[in-house]
Amino acid sequence: MAVKLRLRRDGRRHHAFFHLVAADSRSPRDGRFIEKLGFYNPNTHPAEIRFDHERVLYWLKKGAQPTETVRSLLSREGILLKLHLWRKGKTAEEIEAAYQAWKSQKTSQTTARS
């Protein structure tokens, strides 16, 4: 069974929000899924993104393939950085230190823009 990480649409017409789910690639977009992993609301400013980092990393380590949109959201949240460092063989402490450094750099860049 090929597992994909993808967005599942919810909400009303013209005001959609999405749940990040792990689903079989053969199931329909809003159909059956294996596990709900997070939430994405593009209607707020800035867009609200909440993912369960542990579970998303679990599925990525097991070989789940994210869609293009999900890949960009995971990259924006730093989850793909954690996966990359894990594949390089880094320890959990090194991964967390690199993630915190990346996060602080990202917040300083966004405050500089404002």
Q: Where are the domains of the chain?
A: 3-113
User: 10-19, 25-34, 84-93: which has the minimum mean pLDDT?
Assistant: 25-34
Q: What is the mean pLDDT of the chain?
A: 91
Mean pLDDT across 20-36 = 87
Q: Does domain 3-113 have CATH number 3.30.1320.10?
A: yes
Q: Where are the beta strands (DSSP E) in 28-85?
A: 35-41, 48-51, 65-66
Confidence of residue 114 (pLDDT cuts 50, 70, 90): low
Q: What distance lies between CA 46 and its chain's CA centroid?
A: 16
User: Which residue would you say has higher pLDDT here, 70 or 28?
Assistant: 70
The percentage of residues in the chain with a pLDDT greater than 70, rounded to a whole number, is: 98
| pLDDT score of 98 | 94
